[in-house]
Amino acid sequence: MSAPSPMPADLNPRLVKTLDYTGSERLTMNMGPQHPSAHGVFRAILTLEGEQVVAVDAVIGYLHRCHEKLAETLTYAQYPSIASKTDYVAAMTSELAYVMAAERLAKIEVPKRAEYLRVAVAELQRVASHCLWLGTWCMDMGGALGGGATVFLYCIRERELVLDLFESLTGARLLYGFHQVGGVRYDVPEGWAAECRKTIDLIESRILEYEAMLEDNTFFRMRTEGVGVISRELALDVGIGGPLLRASGVAFDLRRAQPYSSYQDFDFNVPVETAGDCFARYQVRMVEFRESIKIVRQILDGLPEGPISSRPGLKSVAQVRVPKGEMYARVEGPRGEVGCYLIGDGGAKPYRMKWRGASFSNLAVLPHIIPGHSVADVVAIMGSVDPVFGEVDR
């Protein structure tokens, strides 16, 4: 049952950074799986020379819940509510990836209104997820007994507003079960659009406050600029995605490169930064806040009338059947590409399902960028990667 014991870093010369170190011995320090900044259950075995990290061994798997095996035992109607539990900070996007794969395989049409609602919740989810990222990241750098906690509480305050919107839409605050094969499960209640407009206006004004609080703060710049630089080449080699990739100078966003759902109907920018450091990742996400809000506004202005699902009124959970075949569907989650690979066997349950988690691929970059930084930078870099361990371990 125990996790395989990783090799000590010193035996793995590929990852060890040589420093001009005059001390007599190296210190091996365990950061996680239970650590205030482990972001869940990440375990990093750091090899230190003084305060400098020379090597890091990342250990994952503490939150493994057999998601992919579980998907084989649940029907296409049942699994979307479970899919949300992979990346619980952005539940809407993983649900979307699963139902999109099933719909493409079964060649099921989705009504326009449902497509628009899907994009609306995906973008609101991105705002909520980025709020949580900004808060936890600042708490990593600023301390739970300091200014970091202040930013964290401000961000949580704004995230609550988005969760309130989701609650009035779906009845749930964290794990929604909003998407279903063929459309969405709930239509917007009365007054929701007005409430949503009010919320995004408020959040947009609060983003200005965050920026004033952080970007004009010398200490924040000192902690983030030039820290954890991911070069364009490294980003492409390791295969990171999302804001990390765009902060390293690669203009790749699935919403633009391969528009899915109804993204081709909306006007938005894809922010790109070239510095590749923590500050660039921050900048990219701050622009994404605004772009998401812009997309939600466009949807609220032009939400088409019509049905919300092409398969209304399920009488049995086994009613959705998907023909034999394979399909991969991918969406741009708040952390990068979330993919779902589905093999159907003609029945009501998939033969096999595989997740491609954005955080899982993004974490792989840590051993490349952390060595050479001090312990304090490790938490700043880890926070800027924004991992969610539900999605890493599945």
> Smallest distance, Å, CB 373 to other proteins?
10
Q: What DSSP string runs through 279-305?
A: HHHHHHHHHHHHHHHHHHHHHHHT---
Pick 11 or 145: Cβ nearer other proteins: 145
CB 331 within 8 A of CB 210: no
Number of residues that bind other proteins (CB under 8 A): 34
Range in contact with other proteins (rule: CB under 8 A) among 7-15, 264-272, 351-359, 374-382:
374-382
Q: Two tokens at 232? A: 């364009």
Cα–Cα distance, 186 to 353 (Å, whole number): 26
Beta bridge partners of 344: 325, 350
SS3 for 136? helix
Q: Two tokens at 40? A: 């869940």
Give every CB contact of residue 49 below 8 A, 6+ residues apart in sequence: 19, 21, 23, 26, 27
Interaction between residue 257 and other proteins (CB under 8 A): no
CB 135 within 8 A of CB 154: yes
Range in contact with other proteins (rule: CB under 8 A) among 214-222, 234-242, 254-262, 309-317:
214-222
Sign of CA dihedral 249, 254, 259, 265: negative
Pick 193 or 213: Cβ nearer other proteins: 213
> Smallest distance, Å, CB 217 to other proteins?
7
> Smallest distance, Å, CB 143 to other proteins?
5
Q: What DSSP string runs through 351-362?
A: EEEEEE-HHHHH
Interaction between residue 18 and other proteins (CB under 8 A): no
Site string for other proteins, 110-149 (x = CB under 8 A): ----------------------------xxxxxxxxxxxx
Q: Spell out a b/e string for 181-198, using b for 16 or more CB atoms within 10 Å of the CB, else e.
A: bbbbbbebeeeeeebbee
Q: Of residues 353-372, which lie at the interface with other proteins (CB under 8 A)? A: none
Pick 203 or 254: Cβ nearer other proteins: 203
> Smallest distance, Å, CB 213 to other proteins?
8
Q: Is 171 left (phi over 0), alpha (psi -120 to 50) or beta?
A: left
Query: Binding residue for other proteins (CB under 8 A) from 3, 8, 10, 51?
Result: 51
Query: Binding residue for other proteins (CB under 8 A) from 53, 83, 272, 378?
Result: 378
Pick 34 or 269: Cβ nearer other proteins: 34
Interaction between residue 304 and other proteins (CB under 8 A): no
Interaction between residue 219 and other proteins (CB under 8 A): yes
Query: Binding residue for other proteins (CB under 8 A) from 12, 78, 150, 319?
Result: 150
Nearest residue to 159 (alpha-carbon basis) of 101, 107, 206, 114: 206
Pick 151 or 363: Cβ nearer other proteins: 151
Interface residues toward other proteins, by CB under 8 A: 27, 29, 35-37, 51, 138-151, 153-154, 157, 217, 219-220, 222-223, 374-379
